[in-house]
Amino acid sequence: GEDVEQSLFLSVREGDSSVINCTYTDSSSTYLYWYKQEPGAGLQLLTYIFSNMDMKQDQRLTVLLNKKDKHLSLRIADTQTGDSAIYFCAEWGYNFNKFYFGSGTKLNVKP
Amino acid sequence: ETGVTQSPTHLIKTRGQQVTLRCSSQSGHNTVSWYQQALGQGPQFIFQYYREEENGRGNFPPRFSGLQFPNYSSELNVNALELDDSALYLCASSREGTPGDGYTFGSGTRLTVV
């Protein structure tokens, strides 16, 4: 199956930018997603990018995709304490019709 | 438009028992997928149901089984519970043929096996 990997922890100060990184293995056409999970809650879709794109911006969120290195990043501008959560990178493709999730990056935002 | 509803939200079972988890899909969706999220891990695909039949399965033993009903709701059944089955079980509904951003996840059922 596919392998999606993320760093486990990130700590930033309120107002700074956060960058969460992810690597994936599938080389075919896929969609790459970022989900947010707050304590005791389910998954909230934040944003996504198709594998033929390089960048996508959505308000405070910027997704960058390096197809050659199979590296995906999520940048959160002006990080707030409410952004503290676990962020999951996930890959989805029509050829496998399911999500492969990373283990999640726990973002801690200090006031 | 209602979202995905899972029940119960929490439950505690004893090792060896059986459990049934329920999921009602979002209006307009005809496919249901189940994921297991162990503590500190990302969700892992269990299986998917479409047209009341299993349509893809992850690396889970046969004691994990499911059903989909004519109204597209679904059940996940786990027999002979083991301590390692303790996890958050997430259900996601979608419309067949839509990519991943068309999936809606429920809030999950937290199962504790003691």
Is B41 in Cβ contact with A43 (below 8 Å)? no
Tens of each residue's pLDDT in chain B, 114 residues: 579 999 999 999 999 999 999 999 999 999 999 999 999 999 999 999 999 999 999 999 999 999 999 999 999 999 999 999 999 999 999 998 888 888 999 999 999 999
Determine the Cα–Cα distance for residues B17 and B2; give it in Å rounded to an integer: 32
Strand partners, B14: none
Average pLDDT over residues A12-35: 90
The pLDDT score that the predictor gives to residue A1 is 60
The pLDDT score that the predictor gives to residue B96 is 85
Our CA-based measurement puts residue A34 at a distance from the nearest CA of chain B, in whole angstroms, of: 10
* Nearest by CB: A101 against B42, B103, B108: B42
Q: What is the pLDDT of residues A25-45, one digit of tens each?
A: 876 768 999 999 998 888 999
* Nearest by CB: A92 against B48, B100, B106: B100
Strand partners, A56: A63
Count, residues in chain B: 114
The pLDDT score that the predictor gives to residue B101 is 83
Q: What is the pLDDT of residues B92-113, one digit of tens each?
A: 999 988 888 889 999 999 999 9
Is A33 in Cβ contact with B45 (below 8 Å)? no
The pLDDT score that the predictor gives to residue B1 is 56
Q: Which residues, including other chains, have CB under 8 Å from residue A94's CB and lie 6 or more apart?
A: A29, B99
Judged by DSSP in three states, A73 sits in strand
Strand positions, DSSP E, chain A: 5-6, 9-13, 18-23, 31-37, 44-50, 55-58, 61-66, 71-76, 85-92, 99-101, 105-110
Our CA-based measurement puts residue A79 at a distance from the nearest CA of chain B, in whole angstroms, of: 23
Query: For chain B, how far is it from start to end, CA to CA, in angstroms?
Result: 37
Closest to A89 (Cα-Cα) out of A42, A16, A20, A25: A20
Strand positions, DSSP E, B2-96: 5-7, 10-13, 19-24, 31-37, 44-50, 53-57, 64-68, 74-78, 87-94
β-pair type (A105-110, B5-7)? unpaired
The pLDDT score that the predictor gives to residue A27 is 65
The chain B residue lying nearest A92, using CA atoms, is B100
